[in-house]
Amino acid sequence: MQNNMNDNEKDNKILRLEKELDRLKKNLKKQKYGLVWMDVPEAFEDDVENKLPILKENPKLAIKNKDGKPMHILIEGDNYHALTCLNYTHKGKIDVIYIDPPYNTGSDGFRYKDKRILDKFPDGTEVPKDHPYRHSYWLSFMRKRLELARELLKETGILFISIDDNEFAQLKLLCDEIFNKENKQKNKDNFIACLPTVMNLKGNNDQFGFAGTHEYTLVYSKNRDFAQIGEFKIIDEEDMDEWEEDEFGFYKKGANLKATGNNAPREKRPNLFYPIFIRKNGEVYVREDNKMTDEGKRNGDVVVLPITGGKEMSWRWSKNKINTEAHNLIIIFNGEDSSIYKKQRPKLGDLPSKKPKSIFYKPEYSSGNGTGLLKKIFGEKVFNNPKPVELIKDFIQLGCPNDGVILDFFAGTGTTGHAVMQLNDSDDGERQFILCTNDENNIMSEVCYPRIKKVIKGYAGIKGLGGSLSYYVTEFVGKNNILSVTDADKIELAHNAGELLAIAENTFELVKQDKYMQIFENDDQYTAVYFREEMDKLDDFVAEVKKLKKDVSVYIFSWEDETIFDDFEGLNNIRLKTIPQPIVEIYKQIYNLI
């Protein structure tokens, strides 16, 4: 008996491997120029694999303030399942997506659960740098999520992705494929920019060959024809007035060329005491013999020595530097006296500009700022090198209106949520964030959620920024995957879809619930759900809805995509919709992608 079972297991394994080979052959035939890798199927937990994802609220973690500020959303769970649900609630509704995915460095904790039968490399372990499928795992992981993310963006929507050298090249090609798939025959490119983003101006001297100062931000549009990139605000327009421009670029008056300080006297730096000659046209020159030529005397050239208060000092520059960089000097004639100043050329980030530059740099972008802020919030170091708030604020300002929706489905420590709330506070904006992350290593329960809560309520003497928060967890219903869904699965989906519908309508306050119906509310409208297949309580539901004075999105159980229902005829505040079939159709489209 045991031998028969082993033979059966071997046969099943062979069949599954043959199926996998067949799938790979088909994929290779479809691939033309572009990124080609071994697309490895991703396994989820067994009880998830054959069920339908939903979102369930955890009301104990909700934060409610009646301050007129936006209701934000936290979703705990695998971001693939969260994105699946959001493709029903927010398809085509997101203004900006920012993500900081795992960089696949070999030591950043990136894991991938390989769905295939493998003996050598167990499922779900960290992917080391020498793993033969290291890049394939990462690309397979990112592809599914980016395809879902693209569908969430508005036509005007913008995607920002942080990445480093480990996967930059692969990610660029992957995004080109995903975001340009509808443009292959139209000569259009939804790629906007690759921004070297300076996070450590001093440089990481542990890196080989070059001290690393930057990572990258890839920027893509949903549809370049409609996308708009905003501009920065220059707080003080006069900052630009102090800069002038010559043929070598911008400059302003810097330090006097005469040295100061303890080492400035002539006796300490005798080689730097010499005459500088200035022609009437402002040209500067020096001579090895320190003597003016007869021609210079006839032309009235001026002689300047580094003398301060009658004391002989020294110049900051050598003669050779004067001769080679005279264009970097400013001559100011004051009657018989003349002064020489250095031209101060701008360093990275010195020049204010409304239009964002292709190199992203501000001192505030330093990764140490992100670490320091978290330490201030929690009183101790709780995470290494989170993204700085100022960087994410700038991305949001460039891509999002002040009443837009921002999604981060690699939320980590919650920096994106913090950035959104700070921006809203600074300009009275009404931006809403949606953050998704699992609770691996307690990142949601111990860092992300507590951080958002502290920012809303206040911390360490910092005033709270207000706003409200709804907290959801991904859960699963039914007994079959979406391609094998049964009527029983659809019924269970309808019974548990209330929070999905409330999120879709932006109505988060549950004001009535029984075994047949749910009613949710916000300041402007209601969402009313009749989720049972039995219709014996429908009259009671209709009566409840007719009492509602604001606009109402009404969802009624139906086996069809649409329903003919005339009980609300003549009521202009009613928008009638059905469940669960529209949810099922969205899920089917997604399932066919993987």
Please tell me the distance from the alpha carbon of residue 240 to that of residue 346, in angstroms, as a whole number: 11
Has residue 35 been placed in a domain?
no
- Whole-angstrom distance, CA of residue 181 vs CA of residue 173: 12
Binned at pLDDT 50, 70 and 90, residue 244 comes out as confident
Is pLDDT above 90 for 133?
no
Question: Is 26 inside a domain boundary?
Answer: no
Give the end of a domain, one of 296, 312, 344.
344
Residue with tokens 């929070």: 499
Spatial contact of 427 and 393, defined as CB atoms under 8 Å apart: no
Flag whether 24 is in a domain. Answer: no
How far CA 43 is from CA of 14, 48, 192, 439, 594, in Å, comes to 19, 9, 33, 18, 11
The lowest-confidence range among 120-124, 232-236, 268-272, 338-342 is 120-124
Q: Which of 28-32, 192-196, 307-311, 355-359 has the lowest mean pLDDT?
A: 28-32
SS3 574: strand
Radius of gyration of the chain, Cα coordinates, nearest whole angstrom: 32
Instruction: Indicate whether 107 and 227 sit together in one domain.
Output: yes
- How, if at all, do strands 468-477 and 52-57 pair? antiparallel
Rounded CA separation 212/416 (Å): 25
Q: Residues 488, 445: one domain?
A: no
Position 567 confidence tier, pLDDT thresholds 50, 70, 90:
confident
The answer to whether the beta carbons of residues 400 and 373 sit under 8 Å apart is no
What pLDDT is stored for residue 539 in this prediction?
A: 93
Q: What is the pLDDT of residue 336?
A: 63
Distances 325 to 37, 124, 381, 492, 548 between C-alpha atoms, Å: 52, 60, 48, 78, 78
Domain boundary among the residues 474, 490, 518 is at 474
pLDDT at 2 (0 to 100) = 46
Q: Which residues have CB under 8 Å from 280's CB, separation 6+? A: 299, 300, 301
Predicted structure pTM score: 0.82
Residue 27 lies in a domain: no
Q: For residue 170, give the H/E element and its range.
A: helix 168-179
pLDDT exceeds 50 at position 502: yes
- Cα torsion 437, 438, 444, 446: sign: negative
How far apart (Å, rounded) are the C-alpha atoms in residues 356 and 352? 10
Q: Residue 466 and residue 453: Cα distance in Å, rounded?
A: 9
CA dist 240 and 283 (Å) reads 27
Does one domain contain both 105 and 252? no
Domain that holds residue 326: 244-344
In the predicted structure, residue 185 carries a pLDDT above the cut 90: no
Query: Helix or strand or coil: residue 526?
Result: strand
Residue 141's pLDDT band, with cuts at 50, 70 and 90, is very high
The tally of domains found in the chain comes to 3
| pLDDT, tens only, 503-523 | 999 999 999 999 999 999 999
Q: Is 11 domain-assigned?
A: no
CATH of the domain at 165: 3.40.50.150
Write down the pLDDT at residue 1. Answer: 42
Q: 254 and 190 in one domain?
A: no
Residue 44 located in a structural domain: no
The pLDDT score that the predictor gives to residue 594 is: 55
437 in the same domain as 380: yes
Structural domain includes residue 365:
yes
Place of tokens 């029983």: 488
* Residue 437 predicted with pLDDT over 80: yes
pLDDT value of position 183 = 65
Tell me how far apart the alpha carbons of residues 98 and 416 are, in angstroms, rounded to a whole number: 8
Average pLDDT over residues 227-235: 79
Which position has the higher pLDDT, 129 or 473?
Answer: 473
Residues 411, 516: one domain? no
**pLDDT band of 64, cuts 50, 70, 90:** very high
Strand order in the sheet with 337-344: 244-246, 249-256, 337-344, 329-334
Is residue 13 domain-resident?
A: no
State yes or no: pLDDT of 554 exceeds 80.
Answer: yes
Which of helix, strand or coil describes residue 321? helix
Query: What per-residue confidence (pLDDT) applies to 25?
Result: 67
Residues 200 and 107 in one domain: yes
Per-residue model confidence (pLDDT) at position 62: 97
What's the token pair of residue 360? 């992203």
> 21-42, pLDDT tens digit by residue?
777 666 666 656 668 888 888 8
What's the one-letter identity of residue 189?
Answer: D
Task: Write the pLDDT tens digit of every residue in 404-434.
Answer: 999 999 999 999 999 999 999 999 999 999 9
Same domain, 170 and 58: yes
How many other CB atoms are found less than 10 A from the CB of residue 375? 13
Contact call for residues 119 and 427 (beta carbons, < 8 A)? no
Q: Which of 344, 366, 401 is the last residue of a domain?
A: 344
Which residue type, as a one-letter code, is found at position 177?
E
- pLDDT score, position 106: 87
Question: How many percent of the chain have pLDDT more than 70?
Answer: 90
Q: Residues 144-174: pLDDT tens digits?
A: 999 999 999 999 999 999 999 999 999 999 9
Can you state the angle between helices 134-152 and 79-89, rounded to 10 degrees?
A: 20
Same domain, 426 and 360: yes
Mean local confidence (pLDDT), 365-375: 91
Q: What is the pLDDT of residue 10?
A: 64
Contact between 465 and 423 under an 8 Å Cβ cutoff? The reply is no
Kindly state whether residues 76 and 168 are assigned to the same domain.
Answer: yes
For residue 498, give every residue at least 6 positions away whose Cβ sits within 8 Å of its Cβ, in sequence order, or none: 510, 513, 518, 520, 529, 531
Same domain, residue pair 127 and 270: no
- Whether 354 shows a pLDDT value over 80: the answer reads no
* pLDDT for the residue 24: 66
- The verdict on 411 and 555 lying in the same domain is no
Q: What is the mean pLDDT of the chain?
A: 88
